[in-house]
Amino acid sequence: MKCSLRVWFLSVAFLLVFIMSLLFTYSHHSMATLPYLDSGALGGTHRVPPGARAPGGGPTGHFDGNISPVWTRENMDLPPDVQRWWMMLQPQFKSHNTNEVLEKLFQIVPGENPYRFRDPHQCRRCAVVGNSGNLRGSGYGPDVDGHNFIMRMNQAPTVGFEQDVGSRTTHHFMYPESARNLPANVSFVLVPFKALDLLWIASALSTGQIRFTYAPVKSFLRVDKEKVQIYNPAFFKYIHDRWTEHHGRYPSTGMLVLFFALHVCDEVNVYGFGADSRGNWHHYWENNRYAGEFRKTGVHDADFEAHIIDMLAKASKIEVYRGN
C-alpha cells in the first residue's frame, strides 16, 4: 500500500512538472514573438537635422531612444532582469556589489552622459570602422577621417593602414582583455562583461593591482580619464533582445558599436564589416586571408548580424561601404 501511494504521488508530481513546463514554454514563446512597438523616441528625445538620415525608429520599430548607451551615475541601478543577464555573461566566483563598485569608479572617471546636450544646428556624422579585411586597398581613409566621430573597436591598428582605414579615432571600444593605451584625445569606451571589469578599469587608472581576469590584462592603462565611458549593460541587453533577437550568446563588439552610434549620431556610415569580396573573413592587418576562424566560435551569429546591417542599410538608416 505504501509503495502504491508513493508511486501515485510521484506520478502526480511528474505530471504537474510536465504541465508547468509546457505552460512556461508556451508563455515564453508567445512573449518572445510579440512585435516590438515603436516608442516614438524619434519625435521626442532624438534630434534629426534636415537632410540627415534618421537613425531612430528602426526598420521594424525596434529602436528605443530612452535607453542610454552610457552607464552613468543617473542610471547606475540596473533592472533585475538586466543584472541577472549581465552577471551570467562571464560568471565570477566572487560576487561584488555593482553600485558600490560604480560609486568608487565614478570618483576616478566622469560617470556622466556626454551626449545629453546636442547642438541643434550640427549634423553629427559618425564612422563606425570594423576590422574586416575588406578594408585593404579600399582607399576609404580620407573619407573616414572626415567624420565628427570615428569609432573603432579592439585591436584596430591605424599606423601603416591610414589610406584604407583613416588615421583619426575619437572613440575606441574595448574590454579589459583587449585594452591598449590610447592618445589623450580619444574616448576609451569600456565594454564590461562582469563586475570585475569595472574593478579592473578603476585599478588600471590608479593602483594597478588587478593583472588578471580570465586572462592577463594590463595592470596600468594610459588613457584620458576625463574621456572614459562605460558601456551600459541595459543597452547591451536591449540590443540582444530587440535587434540580434538572442541569436548567439550575445551581440558582437561590432554590433555594440554600431547601435551606440545609431543612438548618439545623426548620420552613421559603416566601414569594414563582413567578409571581403572573395568571401573570406579576416582582419585587415592579417596577411592570411583564411585567418577568420573567429567567425565560427558560436558566441556570435555573424550571418544574422549581417542580415541586421543589410536591413538597416535598405531602410536608409546607415550607409555601408563594402570595400574589396
* Residue 171 annotated to the active site: no
Residue 121 is assigned to a ligand binding site: no
Question: DSSP code of 189?
Answer: E
Whose cell is 536591449? That residue is 238
Contact between residue 238 and residue 68 where contact means Cβ atoms under 8 Å apart? no
Rounded Cα–Cα distance for residues 68 and 287 (Å): 38
Which of 250, 271, 282, 284 does the annotation list as catalytic?
250
Rounded Cα–Cα distance for residues 280 and 274 (Å): 9
* Residue 250 annotated to the active site: yes
Residue 307 is assigned to a ligand binding site: no
The alpha carbon of 298 is separated from its chain's Cα centroid by a whole number of angstroms, namely 17
CA distances from 28 to 25, 33, 42 (A): 5, 9, 29
Pairing of strands 229-230, 319-321: unpaired
Phi, psi angles (nearest 5°) of residue 300: -115, 155
Residue 175 is assigned to a ligand binding site: no
Which of 240, 263, 282, 300 does the annotation list as catalytic?
300
Residue 139 is assigned to a ligand binding site: no
Half-sphere exposure of 306 (CA within 13 A, CB side): 13
Contacts of 180 (CB under 8 A, 6+ apart): 155, 174, 218
Residue 250 is assigned to a ligand binding site: yes
Contact between residue 133 and residue 284 where contact means Cβ atoms under 8 Å apart? yes
- Nearest Cα to Cα of residue 91 among 190, 175, 178, 195: 195
Please state, as a whole number, how many other Cβ atoms lie within 10 Å of the Cβ of residue 238.
21
Residue 90 is assigned to a ligand binding site: yes
Exposed e or buried b per residue across 79-89, where buried means at least 16 C-beta atoms within 10 angstroms of its C-beta: eeebeebbbee
Facing residues of 129 across strands?
A: 271
Q: DSSP strand E in 56-192: where?
A: 125-129, 149-153, 171-174, 187-190
Please state, as a whole number, how many other Cβ atoms lie within 10 Å of the Cβ of residue 288.
10
Residue 140 is assigned to a ligand binding site: no
Residue ranges for the binding site for substrate? Answer: 90, 131, 154, 214, 250, 254, 274, 283, 300
The residues that are catalytic are 250, 300
Residue stretches of the annotated binding site:
90, 131, 154, 214, 250, 254, 274, 283, 300
